[in-house]
Amino acid sequence: MGDFRKKTDSQPPRLAVRFFKWFCKESWAEPLLGDLEEQYQIHRKAHATWIANLKFYINVFTLLRPFAAKSHYFNTNHAAMLKTTFTIFLRQLKRNPAHSFLTIFSLCVGLCTVFISSLWISYHESFDEMHEDASQIFQVKRNAIASDGTIQTRGGALYEVLQEAKNTLPAIDHVTRIISTWRWPSEQCLKVDESVDCLYRKGIFSDSSFFKVFDFKITAGAGNPLTELRSIAFSASVAKRLFGDENPVGKKYLLDNHYEVTVTGIFEDIPATSSLQFDFVAPLNVAYALWGMSIDQMKKGSFDTYVKLNNAEPMTVADQIASVPISKNYPEDSYLLHPLLDQHLYTQFENGKKAGGLIDYLRIIGLFAFFVFLMSLVNFVNITTAQATARAKEIGVRKVSGAQKSALQLQFLFETFCKVLIAIALAALFTYLTIPLLERIIQEEIPVRIETDTLLKLLVVALVTPFLAGTYPSYLMSRFNPVEIIKHTSLKEKGKGSVRKWLTVLQVSVSCIIITMASAFYLQLNFLQTKSLGYDPQGVLMVEPTFSHIKAFESFKDQLRSHPQIEAIGISNANMVQATNTTDQFYWPGKSSDQETEFKIIGGDQGLLEVFQLNLIEGNGFNPRDTIRQMVLSSGAVSAMDLEDPVGKTVEMGSEKYKVAGVVADINSESLHWDMMPTIYYEVEPRYSGTFYVRYDPLQPIASIEAVEKVYDEFEPFITMKYKILNEEYQRAYGHEQMISNLTSMVMAVAVFIAIGGILGLLTFNISKRYRELGLRKIFGASDFQAFKVISKEFTLILFLANLIGGVVSFWMMQEWLEGFAYRIDLPVYLIPLNLLGGVIVTFALLAFKIRKVLIQNPVEVIRTE
């Protein structure tokens, strides 16, 4: 219809005509267009052009009816089509097994990465979902404004405030307090008679509303097990270990060998996806009784507190809690209701709001997995289009015998779809097989849960992937010009080649990002684990004492010191790996009224200073014979207080007076995400200490531990000693980072693998395309090296460009991530050129290997090939 191409005055609007031709059936197009045009000419004579044009448009739209619309696959035998397409697909697979393997395998690797990472991510996202009203459960966090103006979010909430809030606010259904420490009394040595070894299990102490807030299933016992004062409930597996097959309900049990409680209930074992982990639960007053504290002390004080709301807006409730009358006593506090469902994922708070935690790592892994998937798609596209020339003749013949573009596109999409299906099946199998291995490497469970949801997602992947992978190749291949193909002139490769090049650039730069980031993770973690803490973490034992040891601490200490391997022994109420107790309730001579500095407080004794190699810079340290309470300041604390000659001065902590007995260096007693804080060591009596720290000769670990065990048994012959090695605990404190580092290293390996596959694909294609050219060059006297240079030029450019892009992005990402650490490595910029170097070496090695095959052949043979 060339008559519409030239736009003169009397032509109807072209856009409308094009639209009409697009939707209208071939058989109707001619008479209808004729009518339209005739009508248009009539209108042109009667009206202004724009009215005629408008009417033309209206007419076109009135013709948008089923009788005139194209029906695409009218008269096509679908079943026969699919069958031939499938047969051809199978033939293609067989004809070129290497190519088929490469495309399917690269997709499979990409999909496998996506599968595994999404299993891992959904596992972590499923935490705490087992409670029916999980979305209504919140932990009450307290936001307090610190001296430097920042808001500090803390776990504990004052009981009296929440008690009143519960009584006055209708939005709150239940409030429950939880005591869950990392050691005794939460950790108990469980056994029924004295002949068996201890079963160390962790438990919690809570209010009777505990089972109303949380949906942990009770399998035996009447109703709520926590209503009686001296009661306890065990998990099913622990109850079985303790009582065998007998019904444990109603049995008496001795906690700490002296406090009698009655078993009132059994609950199902707590699933691994609960952020609260415990094997027994007892009322709060049991914990207080074990501590030897009164019930009155229990009413004051702050606790980890959970509330269950009845569909109220948590922000409003938080404000309401801050405005109950009793809150006026604590004007600096505001509250944050932290959803239970976020508890596992968000553990860091900034400015009184959740800021991050494990979720950051889930996102990083998710992003990386997506990147790898993208790379595998790029590989697929590259290899398929590179192979397209081989199928050019097939396409040409099909076109000549009347295949339409759309039919060809459909054919190639269908082929891609088949390949994707194979890849999905293989990837599922692969995932299933590699998960046990992976679990061992990252030391974490990845449960495979197949739900309808999973299958639905899989279906989406199966439907979307073919389009992502197949659209461009099928578009390209269906547009080959049949005449050119059959004449065997060279295909116009220029435009297509450049798309492929850009895809390779994308792929290599993504792999560059992944490699750089994974290396940065590794370096930073390595740095943290080997960083000097201010003391030697090797050769320190953390021993859990029982009441007998605490009572007779002095003689325990003396007996222990008689062993030559034991160098020092000290006590503390804090976990020296993760000491997090801080306060600003300090008064010292010369403190300005507006100064509110937070200090870390650690209760200990002289022995603790020795164990942690805290050499006294000034003063003599704790003197046990002195009757006045004493404290030792870290040099950071001294400068924060701006004290001159601190030794002998009196500092008040809360309402108690302490005499400064010495100054020591700062050490790190917390995650290296944070800076060292000014620390104050105050004297505690053994009965308030939770852990004995023993420094032994690191060269004789076994003899040392045996010695400690021997002394331990003299005081507590029926209990197995429980101990931890400080260094191991310290490593464990970086569990997440360790796991992420392992995981990213694995993703990196996959990414490198795919990138190499991509480069190999492009290389093979380029060499095969320039096969004869290389032969000719050789005949005209080109040396092997010159021939090599011709091909390698393009790749050098790709590598440089990709490393530039990847370098910039990863530079920015590394900087962002490292800022989260108080102690961090210098930005490892050298990784970027290193990456480039690695890429160049690998590519050139592959190239040399591939090109050798051409160069060692007789050039005459090379030229002869078609």
Partner 1 sequence: MKGTHLGEFEELILLIVGVLYPDAYGLAIMQSLKDQSKRSTSMGAVHSALSRLEEKGFLNAHLDDATHERGGRRKKLYEITAEGKRSLELNRSLRNDLWNQIPDLAFEQLKNG
Q: Which is nearer to partner 1, 57 or 259 (CB)?
A: 57
Query: Residue 574 has which token pair?
Result: 């804090």
Taking the C-alpha atoms of residue 217 and residue 170, their distance in angstroms, rounded to an integer, is 27
The DSSP code for 357 is S
Residue 564 CB coordination number (10 Å): 12
CB of 385 to partner 1, least distance (A): 41
**CA separation for the pair 278, 276 (Å, rounded):** 7
Nearer to partner 1, 37 or 164 (CB): 37
Residue 498 Cβ vs partner 1, minimum distance, rounded to whole Å: 40
The token duo for 710 is: 């021997």
CB of 4 vs partner 1, minimal distance in Å: 7
Backbone conformation region of residue 463, classed left if phi is above 0, alpha if psi is from -120 to 50, else beta: alpha
Strand pairing category for 218-220 and 259-267: antiparallel
Nearest to partner 1 of 68, 486 (CB atom)? 68
Least distance in angstroms from the C-beta of 37 to partner 1: 5
Name residue 793's amino acid. Answer: K
Q: Which is nearer to partner 1, 7 or 449 (CB)?
A: 7
For residue 205, the tally of other CB atoms under 10 A from its CB is 26
Instruction: State in angstroms the smallest separation of the CB of 31 from partner 1.
Output: 3
Three-class SS of residue 108? helix
Between CA 692 and CA 542 the distance in angstroms is: 6
Residue 89, Cβ neighbours under 10 Å: how many? Answer: 19
819 φψ region: left (φ > 0), alpha (ψ -120 to 50), beta (else): alpha
Q: 67 or 785: whose CB is closer to partner 1?
A: 67
Q: How many angstroms separate the CA atoms of 624 and 552, rounded?
A: 15
Q: How far is the CB of 9 from partner 1 (least distance, A)?
A: 14
Q: How far is the CB of 406 from partner 1 (least distance, A)?
A: 25
Whichever of 11 and 275 has its CB closer to partner 1, that residue is 11
Distance of CA 112 to CAs 104, 369, 466, 694, Å? 12, 9, 16, 48
Q: Which residues contact 553 (CB under 8 A, 6 or more apart)?
A: 545, 571, 686
Least gap, CB of 404 to partner 1 (angstroms): 24
Integer Cα distance of 383 and 393 in angstroms: 18
Peptide bond connecting 624 to the previous residue in cis, omega within 30 degrees of 0: no
Amino acid at 349: F
- Which CB sits closer to partner 1, 55 or 557? 55
Residue 183: closest CA among 550, 723, 708? 723
Compute the least distance from the CB of residue 3 to partner 1, in Å.
5
Phi, psi of 592 (to 5 degrees): -75, 150
Q: Which is nearer to partner 1, 75 or 401 (CB)?
A: 75
Q: Taking the CA atoms of the chain, what radius of gyration do you get in angstroms?
A: 37
- Bridge-partner residues for 586, per DSSP? 653
Rounded Cα–Cα distance for residues 398 and 404 (Å) = 9
- The distance from CA 342 to its chain's CA centroid, rounded to whole angstroms, is 14
Structure tokens at 687: 């009965």
Q: How far apart are CA 408 and CA 477, in angstroms?
A: 8
Nearest approach in angstroms of CB 481 to partner 1 is: 28
Residue 76 Cβ vs partner 1, minimum distance, rounded to whole Å? 21
CA atoms within 13 A on the CB side of 310: 8
145: left (phi over 0), alpha (psi -120 to 50) or beta: beta
Q: For partner 1, which is the closer residue by CB, 6 or 494?
A: 6
Specify the residue for token string 């974490």: 444
Judged by CB, which is closer to partner 1: 28, or 800? 28
Q: How far is the CB of 49 from partner 1 (least distance, A)?
A: 17
* Displacement of CA 210 from its chain's centroid (Å): 30
Closer CB to partner 1, 20 or 586, in the complex: 20
Eight-class DSSP state of 389: G
CB-based contact 229:204 (threshold 8 Å): no
State which residue, 35 or 675, has the beta carbon closest to partner 1.
Answer: 35
Residue number with CB closer to partner 1 (10 or 150)? 10
The residues that touch partner 1, with contacts defined as CB under 8 A, are 1, 3-4, 28, 30-39, 58-59, 61-68
Identity of the residue, 32 or 846, whose beta carbon is nearer to partner 1 in the bound complex: 32
Q: How far is the CB of 62 from partner 1 (least distance, A)?
A: 3
Residues near 865 by Cβ (< 8 Å), separated by ≥ 6?
771, 772
Q: Which is nearer to partner 1, 50 or 67 (CB)?
A: 67
Beta-bridge partner residues of 153: 143
Least spacing, CB of residue 17 vs partner 1, in Å: 10
Cβ–Cβ under 8 Å, residues 16 and 57: yes
Closer to partner 1 by Cβ: residue 61 or 812: 61
Question: Hey, which residues does 587 pair with through a beta bridge?
Answer: 652
Closest by CA to 743, choosing from 404, 434, 327, 401, is 434
| Least Å from the CB of residue 32 to partner 1 | 7
Helix (H, G, I), strand (E, B) or coil at 724: strand
Least Å from the CB of residue 58 to partner 1: 8
Could you tell me the smallest distance in angstroms from the CB atom of residue 67 to partner 1? 4
**Residue 40 C-beta: closest distance to partner 1, Å:** 10
Distance separating alpha carbons of residues 372 and 375, to the nearest angstrom? 5
Nearer residue to partner 1 within complex by CB, 42 or 400 = 42
Alpha helices in 613-770 (DSSP H): 635-641, 701-715, 726-732, 735-769
- Indicate the residue among 1 and 79 with the shorter CB distance to partner 1: 1
Nearest Cα neighbor of 672 from 827, 534, 774, 572 is: 534
Would you say 446 and 438 are in contact if contact means Cβ atoms under 8 Å apart? yes
